Amino acid sequence: MKNRASVVVIGGGVVGNSIAYNLAKRGVEDVVLVERSFLASGATGRCGAGVRQQWGTRQNCLLARESMKVFENFKDTLNVNVDIELKQKGYLLLAYSNNELEQFKKNIKVQNSLGIPSKLVTPQEAKYIVPDLNTDKLIGGAFCPTDGHANPFKVTYGYSKAAENLGVEINKFTEVNEIKTEKGKIIGVQTNKGFIETSKVVDAAGGWSQQIAKMVNAELPVYSERHEILVTEPIKPVLDPMLMSFSYNIYCQQTPDGSFIMGYGPDNEPPSFDMHSSWQFLETMSKKAVWLLPPLNKLRIIRQWAGLYNMSPDKQPIVSKIKEVENFYVACGFSGHGFMIAPAIGVLMADIITESDLTYNVVLDIERYKRGEIISEPSVV
């Protein structure tokens, strides 16, 4: 392991790797990434793996669209031979009330203005797209054919390989014990495998971002929350798009290998680092899934697990430097949708660290909360 670095990135999830890659791509030398376990072992590897562009705010649509461009041309863009198993069979968002449908209409306007090919669908059209769908109480939906699914491990692995090709040092199984500062300035990172002298640190530790920030006495306005998920045995493809409903609270999709992955946003889940699975989730999820897709009834669930959402006050990412400590940067608070915008986040963080103009016209700095500039995104689970 190197004992000097220009930037140390803490966190080997998709965001950390994307940041490391983008820094190196800008010509930043001696970037070192440290990860406590293996790459994508945290939220990245535990997520639902969906990639969608159907958002309600212009800036989320922009980040998602730009990220999708990277997913679509992953091998060429990153110059790595990694198949990320991208499946673009769409996202079908379901509306169960007029309010919801009205919101979709507004969203689609924003999306279309950015060239995202989403459109409104009737219950009949929804049934045509997903023949097994229960259309009871369904009023309509929104569908974007270019949304889909990608393999989070492969994406992370692709970024790390691309980063390594550009000279980044990736250290797995390396835990950060302390960030050393002197007179408010970072002087290095103490890991269980040695000390790395550095003046710049990026906190991309996902569910543990707030813990890392505490090492420099910074309080981030984020907390972690358990979200659960399950997977079934694989069967022949029957469900093309990701199915999602905000009001019925579910997401469900069939991965390219044939298994179904699904989850929902829990009610009253207290902030914690708890990653245990629960039988309550298994029961609630089963009822939801079978109501929505009745033929799933006889399908076997083979695994359930949990991961941490790193929640921010407006459920939007914080990609920013912080005031308290010079050259300490955070990419956190992804609130469950970090994977699908990670490619764009890497670009943004590289802009911030290299003090360049932001590539995308977005507001994700941490000071927005003080300014009262809260982003209100209507489309989250």
Partner 1 sequence: MRIEQHPILEFEKGEKIKFYLDGKEMIGFKGDTIASALYASGIYKLSESKKLRRPRGIFCAVGHCSSCLMIVDGIPNVRTCTTPLKEGMKIETQNQEVVLNE
Partner 2 sequence: MNNIEKAELIVVGGGPAGLSAALAAADYGVNVILVEEREFLGGQLVKQTHRFFGSEKEYAGTRGIDISKFLVEKIKENENIKILTSSRVLGIYNDKIVTILANNKMIKYSPKALILATGASEKFLAFENNDLPGVFGAGAVQTLMNLYGVLPSKKILMVGSGNIGLIVSYQLLQAGVKVACIIEAAPRIGGYSVHASKLARMGVPILTSHTIKKAVGKDKVEGAIICQLDSSWREIKDTEQFIKCDAICLSVGLSPLTDLLKQANVKTSYVPELGGYIPLRDENMETSIKNLFVAGDVSGIEEATSAIIEGQIAGLNVAKRIKKDIDNQVKIEKKIAEAKDELELLRAGPVGEKVRNGLKKIGLDPLKNYGEKVSTEEFDISFLMKTGIPSKENLKKKLPLSEDVFNKGPIAISECFQQFPCDPCVKSCPFDAISENGSINNIPYVNFEKCTGCGICVSKCPGLAMFVVQKNYTDSTSLVTLPYEFLPKPVKNQIVLVLNREGTEICEGTVKRVRDGKIQDKTTVVTIEIPKEYFLEARNIKVDGGQKHG
Partner 3 sequence: MDENKVIICRCEDVTLAEIRNLIKQGFTTVEEIKRLVRSGMGPCQGKTCGLLIAREIAEITNTSIEKIEIQNMRPPYGGVTFEEVIAGDTIEE
The CA-to-CA distance between both ends of the chain, in Å, stands at 40
CA angle, corner 165, sides to 352 and 203, nearest 5? 35
CA angle, corner 381, sides to 363 and 60, nearest 5? 25
CB 139 within 8 A of CB 94: no
Euclidean distance between CA atoms 148 and 140, whole angstroms: 20
CB 176 within 8 A of CB 212: yes
Q: Which range touches partner 1 (CB under 8 A), out of 14-22, 172-180, 235-243, 275-283?
A: 235-243
Tokens of 21: 């890659």
Q: Does 95 bind partner 3 (CB under 8 A)?
A: no
Q: Name which of 348, 322, 321, 320 is nearest 59 in CA terms.
A: 348
State the number of CA atoms in the 13 A half-sphere of 58 facing the CB.
7
Question: Using the rule CB under 8 A, which residue among 29, 274, 283, 324 binds partner 3?
Answer: 283
- 263 φ, ψ (degrees, to nearest 5): -165, 180
Tokens of 314: 């407006």
Minimum distance between the CB of residue 237 and partner 1, rounded to whole angstroms? 10
Euclidean distance between CA atoms 356 and 8, whole angstroms: 19
Q: Which is nearer to partner 2, 140 or 263 (CB)?
A: 263
Minimum distance between the CB of residue 227 and partner 3, rounded to whole angstroms? 15
Minimum distance between the CB of residue 310 and partner 3, rounded to whole angstroms? 21
Euclidean distance between CA atoms 71 and 69, whole angstroms: 6
Question: Using the rule CB under 8 A, which residue among 299, 301, 358, 380 binds partner 1?
Answer: 299
CB 304 within 8 A of CB 316: no
Q: Does 297 bind partner 3 (CB under 8 A)?
A: yes
The H or E element containing residue 369 is helix 368-371
Q: Provide the 8-state DSSP code for 274.
A: -
Q: Does 303 bind partner 3 (CB under 8 A)?
A: yes
Question: Using the rule CB under 8 A, which residue among 139, 301, 363, 380 binds partner 3?
Answer: 301
Question: Using the rule CB under 8 A, which residue among 276, 287, 298, 371 binds partner 1?
Answer: 298
Name the binder of 235 from partner 2, partner 3, partner 1, none, CB < 5-8 A by kind.
partner 1
What does DSSP say about strands 148-149 and 50-51: parallel, antiparallel, or unpaired? antiparallel
**Bridge partners (DSSP) listed for residue 182:** 185
Question: Using the rule CB under 8 A, which residue among 81, 182, 236, 357 binds partner 1?
Answer: 236
Q: Does 360 bind partner 3 (CB under 8 A)?
A: no
**Contact set with partner 2 (CB under 8 A):** 274, 276-280, 282-284
Euclidean distance between CA atoms 279 and 297, whole angstroms: 18
Q: Which range touches partner 3 (CB under 8 A), out of 38-46, 205-213, 355-363, 368-376?
A: 38-46
Q: Which is nearer to partner 2, 139 or 299 (CB)?
A: 299
Minimum distance between the CB of residue 240 and partner 1, rounded to whole angstroms? 15
CA angle, corner 148, sides to 335 and 264, nearest 5? 40
Q: Which is nearer to partner 2, 229 or 325 (CB)?
A: 229
Q: Does 290 bind partner 1 (CB under 8 A)?
A: no
Q: Which range touches partner 3 (CB under 8 A), out of 47-55, 149-157, 244-252, 371-379?
A: 149-157
Minimum distance between the CB of residue 132 and partner 1, rounded to whole angstroms? 9
Question: Using the rule CB under 8 A, which residue among 64, 121, 213, 289 binds partner 3?
Answer: 289
Q: Does 376 bind partner 1 (CB under 8 A)?
A: no
Q: Does 157 bind partner 3 (CB under 8 A)?
A: yes
Q: Does 38 bind partner 3 (CB under 8 A)?
A: yes
Q: Does 268 bind partner 1 (CB under 8 A)?
A: no
Q: Name which of 348, 362, 339, 364 is nearest 26 in CA terms.
A: 348
Chain residues that interact with partner 1, rule: CB under 8 A: 233-236, 238, 258, 294-300
Chain residues that interact with partner 3, rule: CB under 8 A: 38-41, 45, 153-154, 157, 233, 257, 277, 279, 282-283, 286-287, 289-290, 296-305
